[in-house]
């Protein structure tokens, strides 16, 4: 198995293994309003056979006022079981373009204890472009049990981020666009300030991926280093609401980085408060 095989499967691989026992296929598409796509409508119109729909707006902590807040292990297990997914399955997740929201589902399943989780390189957009079969028929789901093994150390909290900003104990990689990071573009969520956490570095997700796949390792490493990220030191990733920050975790882990965490509240939490420091402009 190559390093790439540890994170991705190709459309050829998935087509060949679609009938394998113990395979779960997950449509984890989610889009920003500006992208003009409706994830659930697209799934219902035509999805990869065996795929179930992972609703990023539903699989959340119901007691949090933050979008996409990570649910408790028990809550996540209930959702996973309702989708017919076991922690022992080979889980293949995909989204539309390939590397946007699929990484968030990849990260969530792994944080909750699934051991074999892969992302479909190129997403369903590539699958369709290659003329592969899709279906509008509902996927039959068999009841199962998802046994969680929550890896709390992979998740950064607000209190931890305060200490990181104050003490510089970890690097912060922000996946948002340069304009949002610098504060020259408004945030899409009302009541959230513009700018970034002091000390953060900007690594937009568009800079680490191309055509629905991560850049080659050498280019990926150069991208992080050019942004001021020391790949030998701990990194916490952040974005708008914790979704695309997972792309940076994926990119870091693909380079062998062993200490990459995700700030689940991300900028919606930090920028939505009046007691957290915010900077604007380039880092």
Nearest to 244 by CA among 50, 51, 97: 97
Give the separation between CA 277 and CA 196, rounded to whole angstroms: 9
Give CA–CA dist 109/89, Å, rounded: 11
Strand, coil or helix: what is 250?
A: helix
Q: Which of 28, 48, 229, 239 is catalytic?
A: 239
Q: Is 163 helix (H, G, I), strand (E, B) or coil?
A: helix
Residue ranges of E strands in the chain:
8-9, 23-27, 51-53, 90-94, 116-120, 155-156, 171-174, 201-202, 209-210, 213-214, 235-238, 260-263
| Interacting residues of 202 by C-beta distance below 8 A, sequence separation 6+ | 174, 176, 178, 181, 182, 196, 227, 282, 283
Residue in 154, 160, 167 with CA at minimum distance from that of residue 258 = 154
Burial of residue 205, with CB atoms counted within 10 A of its CB: 0-12 exposed, 13-18 middle, 19 or more buried: buried
Catalytic residue at 144?
Answer: no
Query: Please, are residues 92 and 24 in contact by the beta-carbon 8 Å criterion?
Result: yes
Residues with a catalytic annotation lie at 239
């Amino acid at each position: 198995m190559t390093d790439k095989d540890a994170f991705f499967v190709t459309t050829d691989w998935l087509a060949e293994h679609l009938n394998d026992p113990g395979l779960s296929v997950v449509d984890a598409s989610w889009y920003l309003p500006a992208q003009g796509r409706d994830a659930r409508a697209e799934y219902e119109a035509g999805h990869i056979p065996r795929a179930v729909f992972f609703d990023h707006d539903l699989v959340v902590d119901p007691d949090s006022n933050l979008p996409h807040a990570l649910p408790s292990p028990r809550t996540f297990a209930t959702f996973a079981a309702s989708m017919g997914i076991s922690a022992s399955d080979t889980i293949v997740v995909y989204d539309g373009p390939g590397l946007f929201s699929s990484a968030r589902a990849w990260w969530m399943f792994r944080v909750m204890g699934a051991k074999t989780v892969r992302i479909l390189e190129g997403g369903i957009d590539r699958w369709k472009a290659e003329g592969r079969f899709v279906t509008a028929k509902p996927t039959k789901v068999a009841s199962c049990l998802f046994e969680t093994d929550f890896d709390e150390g992979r998740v950064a909290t607000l209190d931890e981020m305060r200490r990181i900003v104050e003490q510089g104990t970890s690097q912060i990689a922000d996946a948002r666009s340069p304009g949002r990071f610098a504060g020259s573009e408004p945030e899409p969520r009302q009541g959230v300030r513009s700018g970034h956490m002091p000390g953060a570095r900007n690594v937009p997700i568009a800079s680490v991926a191309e055509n629905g796949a991560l850049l080659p390792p050498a280019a990926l490493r150069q991208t992080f280093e050019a942004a001021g990220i020391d790949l030998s030191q701990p990194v916490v990733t952040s974005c708008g609401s914790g979704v695309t920050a997972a792309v940076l975790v994926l990119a870091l882990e693909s380079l062998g980085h062993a200490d990459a965490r995700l700030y689940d509240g991300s900028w919606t939490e930090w920028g939505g408060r009046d007691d957290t420091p915010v900077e604007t402009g380039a880092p």
